[in-house]
Amino acid sequence: MSTSPYGGRLANGLGLAVEPRPGAGLVSVALTVAAGGDADPAGLHGTAHLVEHLMFPRAAASDGPDGGHVARVEGAGGVCNAETHRDHTVFHTTVPAGMLTEVLEWEARRLLTFAPTESVLRTETSVIAEEIRGAAAAGGVWEAALAALHPGSRDSFGTAAELAGATAADVDAFFRRHYRPDAMVLSVVGEVDPDRAAASVDRFFAGLPTAPAPAPTPAPTPASAPAPARTAAPATIRTAPLPSPVSGAALGHPLPDPVLDRSGYLAHVVLAEILGRTRLPRLNRRDPRIVSARVTCGYHGQWLGGAAPDLLLAQFATAPGAGPRAAADGWREVLTELAERPADPAEHRRALNALLLACHRRADSLTARSVSLGRTALLFPTAPGPDALPGDLARVTPAEVSAAARALLSGPSSVTELTAPTAPTAPTGIGENR
């Protein structure tokens, strides 16, 4: 049987992609929704994240002995989870292949019966508040760079104070507006018969409402920081310092649009791999001010994990007293090296090989593959599918990577100082009698 994905749409607009993997023994189902943090209503930042949590209803008396959604999946020997991103939310479930029909029914059921109570709402907002605090403790450098370079963009976590005021009516309105079949893609990967899978999807999901979405409520853009045109953006945007286990700095750069400039975007992906694999370790060895350095490309390191805007982020730990200037100097140094002289063929090839290996590993994972198929269909509908990615990466040249380094040097950037806690001063006169 062909391993190419079978795609299409139901009459109600729901996208469907099915990719058979004979002999896999498992099947993964991903539901991708075109709504994330950017879709949060004004004054209710975190609504998309909250809806994600509420799509995992707790066990109720009506659920019977098999419990709620998670209990049903785990009881079948499977696993399920979800992720809220800036521009989409994805729910993924992997189970033994024989459970596909049941999983599709459960997936449709939680869409058709979504009706959270105020008590459940308060429980989940408390859980999310802890997640937000954990994200802040981890640094929040990606979010700081995003806010600096793209004012008005919203991170995926939310704001605890705003979520505390969310009501069941608010959440229901968001769900009805965004969880429409024409704004969702269902992808199925594994040991599956495409025709039987499509028939089951039509059976369970055809009843999703098709009413047009009301006009969306725009997310607020800070009045003091209107979104600038790229050519008018300041060269360096400094954000408020953030606490960190070690002192240093994070430097952010906007990436090319992965749809409008796919080759430019992928050249930055290769650039980040070369910098992280060889150039930053060399800098660390020769510059005593740099303790460690790393670079990530894409949403929290997930390149092609979202549509524009997207970021490249470098994070430096510096020696005591070095300050963010040492990080900025070192970063500009390694970028200038590649901007002025492309990487030699061997270094370029090693970076490409590492990226291609990552592509193959993701393709081997049924869960990652189902998520990738849904994300591509929803966010990059005019782009080639995930199977084209290895070939596209392999065509990136050292000259294009060098041009990407020049683009970072000449374009806008953000700088966030990372401040380590100050060690307490030891008291004087210990052990003295006064």
Average pLDDT score over the chain: 88
Q: What is the pLDDT of residues 120-160, one digit of tens each?
A: 999 999 999 999 888 776 668 998 999 999 988 888 899 99
Q: What is the pLDDT of residues 224-255, one digit of tens each?
A: 333 334 444 458 999 999 988 889 999 999 99
Question: Would the pLDDT of 222 be above 50?
Answer: no
pTM of the predicted protein model: 0.87
Q: Backbone phi, then psi, for 137, in 5-degree steps?
A: -65, -30
Q: Percent of the chain beyond pLDDT 70?
A: 87
User: Do 339 and 277 form a contact (C-beta atoms < 8 A)?
Assistant: no
Residue with tokens 């210990």: 430
Taking residue 364's Cβ as centre, other Cβ atoms within 10 Å add up to 10
What kind and span of H or E run contains 25?
A: none
CA 290 vs CA 142, 238, 276, 316, 343: distances in Å = 20, 20, 14, 7, 22
Taking residues 365-374, what's their average pLDDT?
Answer: 95
Q: Which two tokens stand for residue 5?
A: 């994905």
Taking residues 360-376, what's their average pLDDT?
Answer: 93
In this structure, are strands 311-318 and 184-190 parallel, antiparallel, or unpaired?
unpaired
